[in-house]
Amino acid sequence: MAWTTPKTDWTGNDALTADALNKMGNNDQFLKDHADTTTIHKTAAEIRGDDDTEFVLEARTDDPTTPAIGRMWIRTDL
């Protein structure tokens, strides 16, 4: 299953369609499948106690074409 760029230009007049819900569900499945096949090098408890691991939050005006697990961003143009 491939990542589908989600709708980001919602307005108050837009209806939540079956197509939009399917894209959301497919993207959720894509992320789950990727997480299930990604090697995790540390447990949650190890990460919580690790002061050397940086948390990266990006301010962007677009979505990355291939989001990576653990990468977070906020759209500043919406």
2-58 pLDDT, tens per residue? 888 888 898 989 999 999 899 999 999 988 888 767 666 667 777 777 777 667 788
- The answer to whether position 1 is within a domain reads no
Asked if 73 and 58 touch (Cβ cutoff 8 Å), the reply is yes
Instruction: Provide the residue range defining the domain that includes 66.
Output: 18-75
Residue 62 has φ and ψ, to the nearest 5°, of -150, 170
What residues are paired with 60 via a beta bridge?
A: 75
Compute the average pLDDT of residues 52-76. 81
- For residue 54, the model assigns a pLDDT of 67
> How many domains are contained in the chain?
1
Task: Please give the sequence-ordered ranges of beta strands (E in DSSP) within the chain, or none if there are none.
Answer: 57-60, 72-75
- The answer to whether position 9 is within a domain reads no
